Amino acid sequence: MALRFDENGLIPAIVQDFYTKQVLTLAYMNEESLAISLAERRCCFWSRSRRQLWRKGEESGNVQHIVSITADCDEDALLVQVSKEGPACHTGRESCFFNGLFVDEAVQSLGLSGLYGLLQGRQQQPQEGSYTSYLFAKGLDKILKKVGEEATEVIIAAKAEDRAETVYEVADLCYHVLVLLVQLGISPAEIVAELDRRHIIDHKVKQEKMC
């Protein structure tokens, strides 16, 4: 593959969180920084302002470990998927993209990560009349009780082979599990990382058996 660097010898690199799929930042690489990134398996960029190589996290400690690098169809831009340590943005934000210009509320999907963030907000800034704030106020034992109750409801609905009710109860269970994760300070990304770790181990075991 012959990558197409611009007249300044640079190629844009879109950095994305491998686990959450959140776009973290837009940086630039030259041939040397790309070679370093591939060799060290961590992001190294070319700083246009300082005009020098810049290893992400060398000062802040917010290292980005490379999972994959993919070129686009024109081979003039890169998508770099990473497993990160700490925020991506120098402001302390998880992503550099936080200045909203337009949002079509009609087509927004909350998703698990969005719901998790909403629940965090309810924990940090309780709202009167909010069921979520009520759960956090009652504490861990109440949250655990609700998780158990909702798990039982899932079993009852599934045993009855009631598809719609099962979907409804699983959604309830997911909500309460996310409340539990917020209470314990565990992010959804940590759960995904654990699942990926198991997948990798399982894949290695299967390869060993084939040898």
Beta carbons of 31 and 54 less than 8 angstroms apart: no
**Checking DSSP bridges between strand 78-84 and strand 11-17, what pairing results, if any?**
parallel
CA 128-134-135 angle, to 5 degrees, is 155
Distance CA 43, CA 153 (A): 46
Instruction: Delimit the CATH 3.10.20.810 region(s) of the chain.
Output: 11-84
**Checking DSSP bridges between strand 11-17 and strand 23-29, what pairing results, if any?**
antiparallel
In degrees and rounded to multiples of 5, residue 189 shows phi and psi of -60, -35
Instruction: Delimit the CATH 1.10.287.1080 region(s) of the chain.
Output: 109-207
Residue 108: what pLDDT? 61
What does each of the 211 residues of the chain score in pLDDT, given as a tens digit?
Answer: 789 999 999 999 999 998 878 899 999 999 999 999 999 999 999 999 999 999 999 888 999 999 999 999 999 999 999 989 888 998 888 889 888 787 676 666 677 777 888 899 999 999 999 999 999 999 999 999 999 999 999 999 999 999 999 999 999 999 999 999 999 999 888 888 888 888 777 666 666 666 6
In degrees and rounded to multiples of 5, residue 90 shows phi and psi of -65, -15
The CATH class of 109-207 is: mainly alpha
Beta carbons of 5 and 32 less than 8 angstroms apart: no
Beta carbons of 150 and 176 less than 8 angstroms apart: yes
Helices assigned H by DSSP within 77-139 = 111-124, 131-138
Residue 33: what pLDDT? 97
SS3 breakdown of the chain: % helix, strand, coil, rounded to 5?
45, 20, 35
User: Can you say whether the dihedral through the CA atoms of 168, 136, 187, 141 is positive or negative?
Assistant: negative
Architecture of the structural domain at 11-84: Roll (3.10)
